[in-house]
A and B are shown apart, each in its own frame.
Chain A
Amino acid sequence: MSREFALKLNGVGIEYLQRQSFFRHKKHRVLSNITFNITKGETLGVLGRNGCGKSTLLKVLAGIIAPDQGNIEFFGNSVSLLTLAAGFDNELSGRDNAIVSAMLLGNTKADAIAQLDEVNEFAELGGAFEEPVKTYSAGMRARLGFSIAVKMQADVLLIDEVLGVGDEGFKKKARSVILDRINSEQTVVLVSHSVDTMVNLCQRAIWLERGQLKGIGEAATLCEEYRNTFKL
């Protein structure tokens, strides 16, 4: 493969200290010796069961936490976690939240304001856009969150199980927008519990187990292996 690297992890390890008493701390290893790279334009899947370190890995990739061992190279790329409802304030209207949330996801204020109509149209909130978010149903809230998040611009987009929000109609729409992003030149890291989704969308995948890299390779092959191991 001669394509350009987007991200490169070299022996990344993460450990949390858990305070047990005043002086005693217990070390809790979440990731150890993770080495892989992501090339520009590819979609990489992350397989693994609950508690295997997927969320922690995404935080490392997003630059939210720094590795304790090893390092990560970004090659000047911006990496962002697709986050729903980041920094929502229940007392504020959908409109106000859409502005702050979009700014938190890296937009300028002017851009955040310019995209408001589009966000409202996509979220299908209508007049409720001017009402406080505390009056929203869980579905409306999720729709608003998704509509803001999907506008996010980043060189590498990290997606964690957000393919199914809202009712059936919205789910379909959301899915197609995400698929458009994934199938474009966008570099994506996708975490999903659905092995089928992974096979369909990803070229390559990695498999995490108890914080270790258990496998890395072509998505179809690795997913098959994963499926056989857990008899899915």
Chain B
Amino acid sequence: MTSNQFFQLTITKVFLNLKAEASKSYLSYLWWVLEPALFVAVFYLVFGVFLGNRSEGFIVFLMCGKIPYLWFSRSVNNSANAIVAGGGLMNQVSIPKVFFPSVVVLQDLIKSAVVFLLMIVLVLINNYKPSIEWIAVPLLFLIQALVIAPIAIISSALVPFIPDLKFIVMTMTTMGMFASGIFYDYRKVVLPEHHDAFLLNPLANLIAMYRGALLENQWPDWQSLGNITGIAIIALIMSIKITQFFDLKYPRLVIR
């Protein structure tokens, strides 16, 4: 299989999977927006109405962190089992195993792009005015995709060897939510001397930048954005190499 064929196949599979997924429910594609919208509604009810935190735009602040983080945790958890789930197919045809997590990551990427539009709408209806800094958001989105991909690929590459990792991945993504500043503004909660350590978490950093651009008209910190991108690209190459290294091991591992 040439690399061109591989990309064609991956893209085709992604769109057909989305089509298949949509055909399984009555409201089909509408669920992509409906599901996160319900999510926002519940958060609004809990934080805005019951806890009375309506005043300072807390819901918008929350969603600008929650939506990007949800994309990350969904992608990683959905990919963790991707190579195992591809066991049947990889025992029939010779195919690069990175195909399986790639399809999952791209599928989630497309769905998340739609959810991000919802997030922008939410920001707009809360009386935030679009500013020039908003153009950083698509860039942040792409860099977040670059961060998600290697983590998703590595977890899918290791789960066939250690099936128990699936549960660890699940726990880590839930725990990671608390370490990424979804429910709080790190500048108010985390001690100043620990800010640098806190921002070592690329998701915490990206979420702070999303909020900066959308809610505070601030450009991202280009230096740390560059660092994240560089490390993510290296990690991505390494994660692909790992799946290539074990390529012929997987068909036997996942069939047992």
Which residues of A are interface residues toward B (Cβ below 8 A)?
A: 16, 18-19, 59, 62-66, 80-81, 83, 86-87, 89, 91-92, 96, 99-100, 103-106, 108-109, 132
Contacts and interface: CB of A to CB of B under 8 A. Distances in A.
B45 to A, nearest CB: 34
A65 B251 contact: yes
Most buried by B among A83, A91, A105: A91
Given A59-B91, A108-B8, 4 more contacts: A62-B94, A103-B9, A108-B4, A109-B9
Contacts of B5: 103, 106, 108
Given A16-B252, A16-B256, A89 B17 contact: yes
Given A59-B251, A109-B8, A109-B12, A96 B19 contact: yes
Most buried by A among B8, B92, B249: B92
Contacts of B248: 63-66
A92 B16 contact: yes
* Interface size range on B against A: 20 to 34
26 contacts: A16-B252, A16-B256, A59-B251, A62-B94, A63-B94, A64-B90, A64-B91, A64-B93, A65-B248, A65-B251, A66-B248, A66-B249, A80-B93, A81-B93, A86-B89, A86-B92, A87-B89, A87-B93, A89-B17, A89-B20, A91-B24, A92-B20, A96-B19, A99-B16, A100-B13, A103-B9
B23 interface: yes
Contacts of A89: 16-17, 20
Interface in B1-41: 1, 4-5, 8-9, 12-13, 16-17, 19-21, 23-24
Contacts of A92: 16, 19-20, 23
A103 B251 contact: no
